[in-house]
């Protein structure tokens, strides 16, 4: 067994991880896993390279945080894969700021810079930083690499990044950044396998999961994206509202007397699919419910997604392919169908049987726009970058 790279994606309630060989071959994970339910009922689960369950067990102490769970994870790796030596760690970091155009070695100076971006990604950035600190405390002198979701979108032109705000605020960094860049990076790298010479055409990638966004790609580079200054903007999501009239926020403050913290909780945690349905933030749960509010939440999600595809097509001057990816995009035939039906006027025509089967290509022979379902792999992107930056 070769030396290995540990990939971590730390969130407020979960710690996703993967272990990749530290060699020059095609990166295939040795294992992948997750510690879910942090702070409530933590469950540790692992799958091997065949995607079969390897182990699943509850973590008994509910109060355990990342400072306890990262050592637990490393101890589990040492106990079950004793011939593996972790030689580097790579981290997903949601916000890299205006000037990060690629991955970077983790240093104290970098972490100080990333700390200043916490207000722009309050649900993610603090946990990304905590994971770096706890790895450093557990595995001293282990090289670590930060990979930024925002970096992929640095290819956008100046107009695509601007808000219509006073120039002084734009100069301070209040601009559109975009997120889910690691996912888009992976999809861009695989497009030639699926589209051949058309891979460099005008493509919208729909990353639809608990967090959701879309990216317009031309030449496999980001031209425009639905998310903006924060990961709150754009599409309706599991718990996040997406694009919202700023006047609503003013109304909540001035007329409802809500504090900034209360509004933040409302927009980040109580809105989206959960807020509209009053049932769940999980698309699979809503699809299984015979409830008008559940159906309305699904319809609104798809309505706004279709509208975003059309907007991004305008940014590119056309549309040649749509790629669905991430949890909802890869698994919900209903969501794919409802979005594509709303885009029929653009020449989008779905193959119903292929869509239900979840095959890679789901567009009909008559469709003017290719429609694909491609699983994403952000961890592989992080592993590749970590390997490149830590190679002796």
Token pair of 315 as six digits: 């940014």
Residues carrying an active site annotation: 149
Rounded-to-integer distance, Cα 353 and Cα 48, Å: 31
* Straight-line distance from the first to the last Cα atom of the chain, in angstroms, rounded to the nearest whole number: 19
Query: Which residues contact residue 79 at a Cβ distance below 8 angstroms, ignoring those fewer than 6 apart?
Result: none
Cβ 323 vs Cβ 330: under 8 Å: no
Burial class (CB in 10 A: 0-12, 13-18, 19+), 247: exposed
Compute the Cα dihedral for 323, 328, 334, 340 and give only its sign. Answer: negative
Strand partners, 373: 324
Rounded-to-integer distance, Cα 220 and Cα 109, Å: 32
Token pair of 229 as six digits: 């200054």
Cβ 175 vs Cβ 229: under 8 Å: yes
* Cβ count within 10 A of residue 21: 19
Rounded-to-integer distance, Cα 42 and Cα 107, Å: 30
Rounded-to-integer distance, Cα 35 and Cα 45, Å: 6
Query: Which residues contact residue 381 at a Cβ distance below 8 angstroms, ignoring those fewer than 6 apart?
Result: 147, 182, 185, 186, 189
**Residue 381: helix, strand or coil by DSSP?**
helix
User: Tokens 């992107």 belong to which residue?
Assistant: 381
CA dihedral 53, 55, 56, 59 (to 10 degrees): -150
């Amino acid at each position: 067994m070769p030396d290995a790279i540990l990939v971590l994606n730390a969130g407020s309630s979960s710690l996703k991880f993967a272990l990749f060989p530290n060699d020059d071959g095609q990166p295939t994970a040795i294992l992948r896993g997750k510690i879910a339910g942090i702070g409530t009922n933590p469950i540790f689960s692992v799958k091997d390279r065949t995607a079969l369950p390897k182990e699943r067990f509850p973590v008994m102490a509910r109060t355990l945080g990342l400072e306890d769970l990262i050592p637990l994870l490393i101890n589990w790796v040492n106990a079950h894969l004793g011939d593996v030596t972790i030689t580097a760690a790579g981290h997903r970091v949601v916000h890299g700021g205006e000037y990060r155009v690629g991955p970077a070695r983790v240093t104290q100076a970098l972490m100080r810079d990333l700390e200043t971006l916490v207000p722009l990604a309050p649900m993610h950035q603090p946990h990304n930083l905590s994971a770096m600190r706890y790895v450093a405390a557990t595995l001293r002198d282990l090289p670590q690499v930060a990979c930024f979701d925002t970096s992929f979108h640095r290819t956008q032109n100046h107009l695509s990044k601007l808000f219509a705000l006073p120039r002084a605020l734009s100069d301070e960094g209040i601009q559109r950044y975009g997120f889910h860049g690691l996912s888009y990076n992976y999809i861009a790298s695989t497009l030639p396998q699926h589209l051949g010479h058309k891979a460099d055409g005008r493509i919208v990638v729909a990353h639809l999961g608990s967090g959701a966004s879309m990216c317009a790609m031309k030449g496999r580079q980001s031209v425009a994206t639905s998310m903006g200054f924060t990961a709150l903007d754009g599409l309706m999501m599991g718990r996040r509202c997406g694009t919202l009239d700023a006047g609503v926020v003013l109304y909540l403050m001035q007329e409802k007397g809500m504090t900034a913290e209360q509004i933040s909780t409302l927009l980040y945690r109580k809105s989206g699919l959960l807020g509209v349905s009053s049932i769940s933030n999980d698309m699979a749960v809503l699809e299984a419910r015979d409830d008008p509010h559940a159906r309305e939440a699904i319809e609104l999600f798809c309505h706004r997604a279709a509208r975003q595809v059309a907007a991004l097509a305008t940014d590119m001057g056309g549309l040649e392919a749509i790629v669905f990816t991430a949890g909802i995009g890869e698994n919900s035939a209903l969501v794919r169908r409802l979005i594509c039906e709303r885009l029929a006027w653009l020449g989008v025509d779905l193959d119903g049987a292929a869509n239900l089967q979840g095959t890679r290509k789901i567009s009909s022979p008559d469709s003017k726009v290719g429609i694909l379902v491609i699983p994403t792999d952000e961890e592989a992107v992080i592993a590749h970058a970590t390997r490149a930056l830590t190679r002796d």
